[in-house]
Amino acid sequence: MTSPTLEYPGDLLGFADDLAPAERAKLARLRAYLDENVRPVLVERWERGESLADFRRPLADLHLLDDPELLDDPAVQGGVRRLRPLYRGFVTLELCRLDLAMSITYGGQVGMFRTLIHAGGSPEQIAAWDPGILDFSFTGCFALSEPDHGSDVAGGMSTTARRTEDGWVIDGAKRWIGNATISDNIVVVAREEGGERVLAFVVPAETPGVERSVIPYKGATRMVHNADIRLDGVVVPEERRLPRIESFRDINRAFRSLRADIAWSAAGMQLGAYAAAVEYAQRREQFGRPIAGFQLIQDKLVRIVANIAQTLALAVRTTTHPIDDDVSPSLIKLVAADRLRESVALAREIVGGNGVLLEHDVMRFFADAEAMYTFEGTREVNTLIVGRALTGHSAFTR
């Protein structure tokens, strides 16, 4: 049964019941920290579009991902002690249950950036950088999308890397890069000039020729600063190239282990929106009784909970049976994003006019769902990837 300190209203099938006591205790501490310190500032920071970067170090101090007490039995992991994937998933869920921006601000570093370094780096690079990645003294972000190439970036990427005697010179532009202005390093993906390879470089953000500017007037994930990045004759030594990334296939391979995170994030956001909506429905009275007593309100609550169950089932399955193909990540992304989009719209509806006010805690989820619906592959692109696998026919135009 769920412990009194860590309940997940909306997790009707009890997926959280499989967490170990030490994992539950750690997640309860995370929730307490978030509720006491981050939740009270969310509305103001959203309104002003202010970053949550100052919470990264305190989160690192909670040792969510590097507490020896949480490492698994080595016998189960073939001699290596690791965090249980289910627990890792719940860390993402818990952060997103509060706010997607908090999750991206923290997870862009210890999830995406760290995963890339581990999957693409040499043993020496990993050994040198990993401790700093975990304690946030060596920060980074991932720059793939470009101003003129989003969905077709794999075939159309215009950022280039030219080999010189000493290293490489990178020219081009990137767009939408999350955490770029709060990172010391940018993993830049570039096409090798005069070659076929797609390479990745850990570029120090202060290198001459790198220019970052925050994209203003954003209506989703407002507390994450996404940036335009210009790269003009940026000189990077060979030691800053990730040697195990030489193609888009390698990048996809690197990110496979992160695909479950999209489902965990979508589940967390739905749980957050559900908690706010069900609490409001109990409290708000119309026609002389709580709106929670109306059949049409109950229908919406049940639909959200059913979506949560589906998304969590997807997350747990993907976590316990790691992905080793390039198609299922697309299926996971499009299903999780669909469920999320429906749930947050229903939650917003339940809260009525107040639902558009940030203080009622559903509007952030509603707006942020739009960002998640688009990044890491749009619905259309993911549909085309799954469709191609099902039929053997590519419906991409090239």
Sorted by sequence, the CB contacts under 8 Å of residue 123 that are 6+ apart come out as none
Q: Out of 151, 160, 252, 298, which residue is the one contacting ligand FAD (CB under 6 A)? A: 151
Residue nearest ligand FAD, CB atom distance: 150
H-helix or E-strand containing 348? Answer: helix 328-350
Size of the site for ligand FAD (CB under 6 A): 20
Residues found in the chain: 398
With residues binned 3-state (H G I as helix, E B as strand, rest as coil), the percentages for the chain, rounded to 5, are: 55, 15, 30
CB closer to ligand FAD out of 199 and 371? 371
CA torsion, points 219, 221, 225, 229, in degrees to nearest 10? -80
282-341 residues in contact with ligand FAD (CB under 6 A) are: none
CA atoms within 13 A on the CB side of 392: 0
Q: Out of 16, 143, 346, 362, which residue is the one contacting ligand FAD (CB under 6 A)? A: 143
Which residues are paired to 229 by β-bridges? 174, 212
DSSP state at residue 284:
-
State the Cα–Cα distance between residues 252 and 167, nearest whole angstrom.
25
User: In a 10 Å sphere around its CB, with 0-12 CB exposed, 13-18 middle and 19+ buried, how is residue 387 labelled?
Assistant: middle
CA atoms within 13 A on the CB side of 78: 0
Rg of the Cα atoms in the chain: 21
Q: Out of 92, 105, 139, 145, which residue is the one contacting ligand FAD (CB under 6 A)? A: 145
Q: Out of 49, 150, 167, 204, which residue is the one contacting ligand FAD (CB under 6 A)? A: 150
* Interface mask toward ligand FAD for 367-396; x: CB under 6 A: ----x--xx--x-xx--------------x
- To the nearest whole angstrom, how small is the minimum distance from the Cβ of residue 333 to ligand FAD? 11
- To the nearest whole angstrom, how small is the minimum distance from the Cβ of residue 285 to ligand FAD? 37
Which residues are paired to 187 by β-bridges? 142, 202
Does 252 participate in binding ligand FAD (rule CB under 6 A)?
A: no
- To the nearest whole angstrom, how small is the minimum distance from the Cβ of residue 141 to ligand FAD? 6
State the Cα–Cα distance between residues 89 and 101, nearest whole angstrom.
17
Does 221 participate in binding ligand FAD (rule CB under 6 A)?
A: yes
Q: Out of 60, 102, 117, 144, which residue is the one contacting ligand FAD (CB under 6 A)? A: 144
* Interface mask toward ligand FAD for 333-372; x: CB under 6 A: --------------------------------------x-
161-190 residues in contact with ligand FAD (CB under 6 A) are: 176-178
Kindly provide the b/e burial profile for residues 250-264, where b requires at least 16 CB atoms within 10 angstroms of the residue's own CB.
Answer: bbebbbbbbbbbbbb
CB closer to ligand FAD out of 391 and 397? 397
46-85 residues in contact with ligand FAD (CB under 6 A) are: none
Sorted by sequence, the CB contacts under 8 Å of residue 131 that are 6+ apart come out as 137, 138
CB closer to ligand FAD out of 312 and 381? 381
CB closer to ligand FAD out of 205 and 371? 371
Write down the residue that tokens 């939408």 correspond to: 176
Write down the residue that tokens 């909670």 correspond to: 62
CA neighbor of 280 nearest in space, from 165, 357, 178, 333? 357
- To the nearest whole angstrom, how small is the minimum distance from the Cβ of residue 396 to ligand FAD? 5
- Window contacting ligand FAD (CB under 6 A); options: 4-12, 33-41, 143-151, 241-249: 143-151
CB closer to ligand FAD out of 145 and 185? 145
229: its two tokens: 């990045």
- Window contacting ligand FAD (CB under 6 A); options: 19-27, 32-40, 140-148, 314-322: 140-148
State the Cα–Cα distance between residues 118 and 73, nearest whole angstrom.
22
- Window contacting ligand FAD (CB under 6 A); options: 86-94, 138-146, 305-313, 347-355: 138-146
- Window contacting ligand FAD (CB under 6 A); options: 66-74, 220-228, 239-247, 277-285: 220-228
Does 226 participate in binding ligand FAD (rule CB under 6 A)?
A: yes
53 phi, psi to nearest 5 deg: -60, -30
Footprint of ligand FAD (CB under 6 A): 142-145, 150-151, 176-178, 220-221, 226, 371, 374-375, 378, 380-381, 396-397
